[in-house]
Amino acid sequence: MSCRRGLSLVLLLFLIHLASALETGAINATGTAHRRRLSRRQVLELRKKLNNINKPAVHTIRSPDGDIIDCVLISNQPAFDHPLLKDHKLQVKPDFWPDQEDGAASTESSPGDDKVSYQLWHQSGECPEGTVPIRRTTIDDILRVGGSVSRYGRKARPPPNPRRIRPPEPAQGSHEHAIAFINGGQYYGAQASLNVWKPAIQVPNEFSLSQMWLLAGSFYGDLNSIEAGWQVSPLLYGDSNPRLFTYWTSDAYRTTGCYNLLCSGFIQLGRSIAIGATISPLSLLNGAQYDIRILIWKDPRTKNWWMRFGPGILLGYWPAELFTHLGDHASMIEWGGEIVNTAPRGHHTATQMGSGHFPSQGFGQASYFRNLGYVDGTNKLKTQVMLQTLAEHPNCYDILRATSGDWGNYFYYGGPGQNPRCQQ
């Protein structure tokens, strides 16, 4: 009997790996087909542009998921190509950290409840001191989005604006959200712990993400945004792995900013976390829950916006020079999930948000954000947050907020997309 169980387990693992390989192969076939249509001159031009994105590596690591991680000298990273940062003085560490308010809920994991996620490439090595790990961009990455280096890694529209009716969605698909938010104050940072899943994506040009936004300015004019979380985006990465991401813009996503380090701007300092790399391990249905903890705050002296990952890893910062409105403070913070719905075959997408389960199903099944907080003008981390919520299509993706002693302000969110109550 035990031998039969062993064979069944081996067969199951084989089928999982086969499905993953077929999925990745189908996605990458798009880039390969585009490459066949390129002339030699076009390929050479693309390679030249890629050389501007991929900086010389001191050391290279091949991740089990197929990523190549380049260990690049801190001084050679893409950030310093930005014209506003030519004379920027590198800040090695923040001058000020947010102070925890008295009586705040602990940000540590509750025993047996949840665990910490890190990254898959750690299985293959580490970057040396004085370098930062950067996921290498390939020709196929660019070709999957039509071969445009200038548009690769950029969002097409602003985040949800709870204060007004949203304009018609663009042709590439509607963006749907389930979020919690605070607004009307002056915010100098935000934090959250969010568990990580692998939501199913119905078609490759859709995505599913879970993140927090720090926002200032006009949503449809000069919006400034700093963002971080995890996402599944076959078009951007060539697979369906959940990955850590960051984003920034200073003009409502028109010409500035990008995901991760795909353009100049964010300055990375830590050598243990690669932005854009696969997160591992992942949460399991009715099993162990793995989350990532993110804290973003503004250094009161330098005005740079810092990001901490996990219990104490300084990832880097967004320099003050990049922003206009965020040169002062954020006026809104949002936490939650977002998907793209391209309405395949005329029906609502089956792309999942979060775990793919509705928030009413609770711990072990639904996705969560916990220990929410913001940094106030005195550099104190405030965890007593008056949350509002927004779910644009609650029959498809919903949100349910609550509070507790261990988790402070938290919420469950997400959903399966297409279901008997969600067809259009």
- Residues belonging to the active site: 227, 338
The rounded distance, in Å, linking the Cα atoms of 54 and 59 is: 13
The rounded distance, in Å, linking the Cα atoms of 262 and 372 is: 28
Residues 6+ positions from 7 with CB-CB distance below 8 Å: none
Tokens at residue 6, please?
A: 């062993």
Helices (H), 101-148: 139-144
Cis? peptide before 281, omega within 30° of 0: yes
**Cα within 13 Å of Cα(178), Cβ side:** 33
The rounded distance, in Å, linking the Cα atoms of 364 and 299 is: 36
Q: How far is CA 248 from the centre of its chain?
A: 11
CA triple 44-49-53, angle to 5 deg = 140
Q: Determine whether 230 is exposed, middle or buried from the number of CB atoms within 10 Å of its CB (0-12, 13-18, 19+).
A: buried
The rounded distance, in Å, linking the Cα atoms of 364 and 367 is: 8
DSSP run (H or E) holding 11: helix 2-36
